[in-house]
């Protein structure tokens, strides 16, 4: 109440989400070497973290599944001319000359040895095995967080309508419990996401 009644400006740094929701008019995000206004509230920030973590996991997954460059075998000495229609003419015993067009890109073929393919397959198996329990727990956490978000929205909507005193007390108590569990799950979600990223990074660079 004192913070809300204060007419000046207060910069507040806190992990108390209930306090932040009650008194803050603007949110600023500190990260990546800069401080900038955040366009949204705490719920928007949570969604931002979810999307950012998902994007990082997808990038790590794409990097892990991308074939590692190995020895490129020499192509037969032929002169290739690729037309727009995709017709290929070949003349033997000439230096390799590739003339791609905009519609038909030509890339050198990369060959992977059986040992490299086996290593890549084992790396994918190791990655799936190590991250499976964390991803399962992450999915369960996200499901419970969605349920709590809906429960919280229903309770807040209910509290905005005229109610008997005992109903207000009960709804407020339920809302407090939902917020407390949601905060705990948000921390758990961040920890699980970091663990998954660490595993994916270690397996990818191994």
Concatenate the DSSP letters of all residues of 20-85 into one string. Answer: HHHH-S-EEEEETTEEEEESS-HHHHHHHHHHHHHHHHHHHHHHHHSPPP-PPPPPPSEEEEE-TT
pLDDT of amino acid 120:
74
pLDDT of amino acid 68:
54
Q: What is the mean pLDDT of residues 157-170?
A: 88
Instruction: Please check the confidence at residue 190 and state whether its pLDDT lies above 80.
Output: yes
Cα gap 136→138, rounded to integer Å: 5
Please answer whether residues 110 and 67 qualify as being in contact, where contact means their C-beta atoms are separated by less than 8 angstroms: yes
- Cite the beta strand spans of 84-176 per DSSP E: 88-92
pLDDT classification of 92: cutoffs 50, 70, 90: very low
192 to 95, 137, 158: CA distances (angstroms)? 55, 8, 33
Residue boundaries of the structural domains of the chain = 2-67+111-205, 75-109
pLDDT of amino acid 110:
57
Instruction: Please check the confidence at residue 67 and state whether its pLDDT lies above 70.
Output: no
Residues linked to residue 29 through DSSP beta bridges, in sequence order: 36
Q: What is the mean pLDDT of residues 129-133?
A: 86
Please answer whether residues 8 and 20 qualify as being in contact, where contact means their C-beta atoms are separated by less than 8 angstroms: no
The 10s digit of each residue's pLDDT in 115-126 is 777 777 777 888
* This model's pTM is above 0.75: no
Instruction: Please check the confidence at residue 60 and state whether its pLDDT lies above 80.
Output: no
């Amino acid at each position: 109440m004192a913070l809300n009644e204060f007419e000046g400006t207060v910069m507040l740094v806190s992990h108390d989400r209930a306090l932040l929701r009650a008194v803050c008019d603007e949110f600023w995000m500190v990260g990546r070497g800069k401080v900038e206004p955040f366009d949204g509230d705490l719920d928007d920030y949570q969604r931002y973290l979810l999307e950012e973590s998902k994007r990082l996991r997808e990038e790590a997954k794409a990097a892990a599944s991308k074939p590692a460059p190995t020895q490129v075998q020499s192509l037969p000495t032929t002169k290739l001319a690729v037309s727009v229609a995709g017709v290929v003419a070949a003349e033997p015993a000439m230096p390799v000359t590739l003339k791609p067009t905009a519609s038909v890109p030509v890339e050198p073929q990369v060959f992977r040895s059986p040992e490299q393919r086996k290593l890549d397959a084992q790396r994918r198996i190791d990655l799936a095995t190590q991250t499976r329990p964390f991803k399962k727990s992450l999915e369960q956490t996200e499901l419970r967080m969605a349920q709590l978000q809906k429960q919280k929205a229903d309770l807040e909507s209910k509290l905005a309508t005229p109610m008997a005193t005992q109903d207000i007390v009960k709804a407020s108590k339920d809302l407090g419990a939902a917020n407390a569990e949601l905060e705990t799950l948000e921390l758990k979600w961040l920890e699980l996401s970091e663990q998954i990223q660490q595993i994916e990074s270690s397996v990818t660079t191994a």
